[in-house]
Amino acid sequence: MNLRLWLIPLLPLLGGIINGLFGRLFSKRVVTAVALASTAAAFAMALYVAANFASMPADQIPHAETLSFPWISITGFEVDFAFFLDQLSLIMLLVVTGVGFLIHIYSAGYMADEEGYYRFFSYLNLFMFFMLTLVLAANYLLMFVGWEGVGLASYLLIGFYFQKQSAANAGKKAFITNRIGDFAFLLGMFLLIKTFGSVDYLQVFHQVSAMGVEHAHAGILTWTALLMMIGATGKSAQIPLYVWLPDAMEGPTPVSALIHAATMVTAGIYMVARSSAIFDRAPIALTVVAILGALTAFFAATIGLVQTDIKRVLAYSTISQLGYMFMACGVAAYSAAIFHLMTHAFFKALLFLAAGSVIHALGGEQDMRNMGGLKDAIPYTFWTMAIATLAISGIPPLAGFFSKDEILWQAFSSKPTGWIFWLIGLITAGMTAFYMFRLLFMTFFGERRAPQYADTHQGHAAAAGHGHKPGHGVHESPWIMLGPLVILAFLSVAGGWVGVPKALGGQNHFEQFLAPVFEQYAPHDERRLAEAEAGVVGPAANRNEPVPENPESATELIMTGVSVLVALTGAFFAWLFYYKRPELPQRIVQHARGLYTTLLNKYYVDEFYGATLTQPIMRGATDVLWRGVDVGIIDASVNEAATASQEVSRGVRRMQSGNLRSYAGWVAFGAALVIGYMIWTGIR
């Protein structure tokens, strides 16, 4: 069966090229039509592929398609333009094209009054191309092409308002930080090539599955996994490379929604899950992944507690949720990570788009301290955002509840020390609920803290990047923006129902669907044995999920209850602090000023990196490489050579005086010398 998978990335690329080359000549209507049509076509192709996938016999999965011409072909090493479809790719494909298409629609409304409209859509389509290449690639090298490409698209879109210094800097920061991770990914890939002589998923995993688990020692698999993990920390904004994501909020809000919340930042999670065969055999690397994820989830959430920029709160929330997914990967609960990835794509995209709608309504204002009381002015935005807030806080039965609960439960039941991860995750869940409800209350409830939005304020709007016609007042966004919000709100509610755990009477279809991907190359060791003892049979059975009669089911129910309770507590405190008694936060801040400033300044991590990395590198580059090597040695040697030849020629050019008689004199002088020599030799 030929599904023509290569068409899916190619369609957005075509749209991007058309808009990029000729968009300047087109009217906005045509630009929009090209961009939306190409993305819609990709989405339609994805649905067509999904429909075919459902009827595909199990032995034909994963379904691989290779373009007829090779890419790299040298003796003993071949890479093809190969595309690959299994359950994991399919879910990523649907999320990327679906959410991407919705955000394209939204952007048409949001960016309507912006300069460089065609440029925006060209970049956005380019991003879709690279992201789809990333998720559909059948080997690590092609994945890396997509991986680098989304980084490029991200750079271009963060720096979309490139006239603004901060946006240009944020773009550079994102690009350079990602480059560190990419370098590690590349090294990991080199290790793969050296060890297995291939970058093809199936060939690599096939060879990996013949290897044992590196329990106590750090062998080749552990190093590969660790290097790949560093790559993932760059792209998925984990400690220590997360610093670019908050700054990436300089880009237009739809970009934040699509790239920096829903899709691109999940590439690292996807990569770790895709490489589960390698990570499963490297317990040390897995533990590091889990620790990094848990720490990231926790620290990003604490920073999110005090931020006042609406998009920055969401940015730290994204980092925190990505930390959850990383943690889930770290406890080898890959399907839980992908489940959360999917639901997170729904509700975080919705949160960003709704935040964009708020910003749009206020003509560019992003500071929550200047919002408030918008509930009745922009009701659709309010209700969709409220749904997303409930979803991310883990309130049942919305999407976030099921995925987050799955991660917490998997963390708890994973290893002897799993309860630590569970505890961190639980505290983070409480903080998540707190900062999200804080955002909701500060934005939509209370009194209007900014009456000036009733009248014109063009200056502020221009400064904030998202200009809007003055004299408008607070207004609800047009339906082209609200439509995607409503659809995403529906998905945020229902998106989790595909993965209801057995303890709650569901079937956990999602995990069963994904199970073959992670089961196929899983190591045959204690986990399998444990399952065999527990009476789980067959590859499609859930790995860690206890059978309903199992007493663990009761534990899971209690855990679920606890996490919901914690989420409600967080929400309650947010209600208390920011709705009921708004003077309380000030008093707490006064009592814990040190903690508050530390959080407000994001633990001074940027300053720390600046002092320990950026400054020394800049100084080294300036003093040693620039002034020392470049100016002192390379430039100097070139200049010295020029000066020396000038000096020599200054002396020599006296011979070319232009004076005829002096030439004759020189000739006579030379002749005299020759004759004198001959006479002298003749006499002797």
Applying CB under 8 A, the residues found at the interface with other proteins are: 653-654, 656-661, 664-665, 668
Cβ distance 470 to 456 under 8 Å? yes
Cβ distance 5 to 29 under 8 Å? no
CB of 684 to other proteins, least distance (A): 22
CB of 642 to other proteins, least distance (A): 20
- H helix runs in 520-580, sequence order: 526-534, 552-575
CB of 23 to other proteins, least distance (A): 60
Q: Which is nearer to other proteins, 591 or 654 (CB)?
A: 654
CB of 620 to other proteins, least distance (A): 48
Residue 72, SS3? strand
Cβ neighbours for 77, distance < 8 A, ≥ 6 positions apart? 193, 197, 198
Q: Which is nearer to other proteins, 463 or 672 (CB)?
A: 672
Which helix (H) or strand (E) is 221 found in, with range? helix 220-235
- Mark 197-228 as b/e (b = at least 16 C-beta within 10 Å): ebbbbbebbeebeebebbeeeebbbbbbbbbb
Q: How far apart are CA 153 and CA 134, in angstroms?
A: 13
Max Cα–Cα distance, the chain, nearest Å: 127
Cβ distance 16 to 41 under 8 Å? no
Residue 359's closest CA among 314, 397, 400?
314
Cis ω on the peptide bond leading into residue 62 (within 30° of 0)?
yes
Q: Which is nearer to other proteins, 217 or 654 (CB)?
A: 654
Q: Which is nearer to other proteins, 452 or 649 (CB)?
A: 649
Residues, the chain, total? 684
CB of 683 to other proteins, least distance (A): 18
Q: Which is nearer to other proteins, 548 or 665 (CB)?
A: 665
Cβ distance 158 to 248 under 8 Å? yes
CB of 664 to other proteins, least distance (A): 5
CA of residue 300 relative to chain centroid, distance:
15
CB of 660 to other proteins, least distance (A): 5
Q: Which is nearer to other proteins, 73 or 662 (CB)?
A: 662
Q: How far apart are CA 632 and CA 418, in angstroms?
A: 57
Residue 80's closest CA among 62, 92, 67?
67
Q: Which is nearer to other proteins, 1 or 668 (CB)?
A: 668
Q: Which is nearer to other proteins, 620 or 665 (CB)?
A: 665
Q: Which is nearer to other proteins, 52 or 657 (CB)?
A: 657
CB of 654 to other proteins, least distance (A): 7
- CB count within 10 Å of CB 663 equals 13
Which helix (H) or strand (E) is 83 found in, with range? strand 77-85
Q: Which is nearer to other proteins, 176 or 672 (CB)?
A: 672
Q: How far apart are CA 315 and CA 533, in angstroms?
A: 44
Q: Which is nearer to other proteins, 379 or 676 (CB)?
A: 676
CB of 657 to other proteins, least distance (A): 5
Q: What percentage of the chain's residues is helix, strand, coil (to nearest 5)? A: 75, 5, 20
Radius of gyration of the chain measured on its C-alpha atoms: 31
Q: How far apart are CA 437 and CA 620, in angstroms?
A: 46
CB of 651 to other proteins, least distance (A): 12
CB of 663 to other proteins, least distance (A): 10
Cβ distance 148 to 267 under 8 Å? no
Q: Which is nearer to other proteins, 507 or 657 (CB)?
A: 657
DSSP classification of residue 522: -
CB of 182 to other proteins, least distance (A): 59
Q: Which is nearer to other proteins, 658 or 682 (CB)?
A: 658
Cβ neighbours for 425, distance < 8 A, ≥ 6 positions apart? 294, 297, 324, 327, 404, 407, 408, 411
CB neighbour class for 276 (10 Å; exposed up to 12, middle 13-18, buried from 19): buried
CB of 674 to other proteins, least distance (A): 14
Residue 70, SS3? strand
